[in-house]
């Protein structure tokens, strides 16, 4: 069974930092690109960041570029999101997700975690 389990969310003051982790199991983590997606309370989905299977390609949404850093450790089957200079508008549930928007010729790897809440407030 595929599992993505996020951790590291919580309450942080504006300007502060937080590191999210996502533990993956039930699939060959090293073979898949991964993403972070967030959803502010009562709002829509916002893609945050992408990392390829080899970490050679990384993308960020304009809203977090220069403040957030995505990384992965395939030896630990883990995905990370380092969030610095946090703002109130970063308050959201952060989802760890597998490949987004496509399927291979053999399967659709539509993998999502349950989300972790990050609240930025003084």
Partner 1 sequence: EIVLTQSPATLSLSPGERATLSCRASQSVSSYLAWYQQKPGQAPRLLIYDASNRATGIPARFSGSGSGTDFTLTISSLEPEDFAVYYCLQRSNALTFGGGTKVEIK
Question: What is the contact surface with partner 1 in residues (CB under 8 A)?
Answer: 35, 37, 44-47, 50, 59-62, 95, 97, 100-103, 107-108, 110, 112-115
> In the chain, what is the straight-line distance between the N-terminal and C-terminal CA atoms, in Å?
39
Positive or negative, the CA dihedral 112, 63, 32, 105 is positive
Which residue's CB is nearer to partner 1, number 11 or number 45? 45
* Shortest distance in whole angstroms from residue 87 CB to partner 1: 18
Q: Which is nearer to partner 1, 12 or 115 (CB)?
A: 115
- Min CB(11)–partner 1 separation in Å: 21
Nearer to partner 1, 107 or 122 (CB): 107
How near is the Cβ of 16 to partner 1 at its closest, in Å?
Answer: 26
Beta carbon of residue 106, minimum distance to partner 1 (angstroms, whole number): 10
- If phi > 0 it is left, if psi is from -120 to 50 it is alpha, else beta; for residue 85 that is left
How far are the Cα atoms of 9, 35, 36, 40, 122 from residue 71, in angstroms, in the given order? Answer: 17, 10, 11, 22, 28
Nearer to partner 1, 37 or 83 (CB): 37
Query: How large is the C-alpha radius of gyration of the chain?
Result: 14
The half-sphere exposure of 9 on its side-chain side, counting CA atoms within 13 A, is 18
């Amino acid at each position: 069974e595929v599992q993505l389990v996020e951790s590291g969310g919580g309450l942080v003051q504006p300007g502060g930092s937080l590191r999210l982790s996502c533990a993956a199991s039930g699939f060959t983590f090293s073979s898949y690109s991964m993403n972070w997606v967030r959803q502010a309370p009562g709002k829509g989905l916002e893609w945050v960041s992408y990392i390829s299977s080899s970490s050679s390609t990384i993308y960020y949404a304009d809203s977090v570029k220069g403040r957030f850093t995505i990384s992965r450790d395939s030896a630990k089957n883990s995905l990370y999101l380092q969030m610095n200079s946090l703002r109130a508008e970063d308050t959201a549930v952060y989802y760890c997700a597998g490949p987004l928007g496509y399927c291979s010729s053999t399967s659709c790897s539509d993998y999502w975690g349950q989300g972790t809440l990050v609240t930025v407030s003084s």
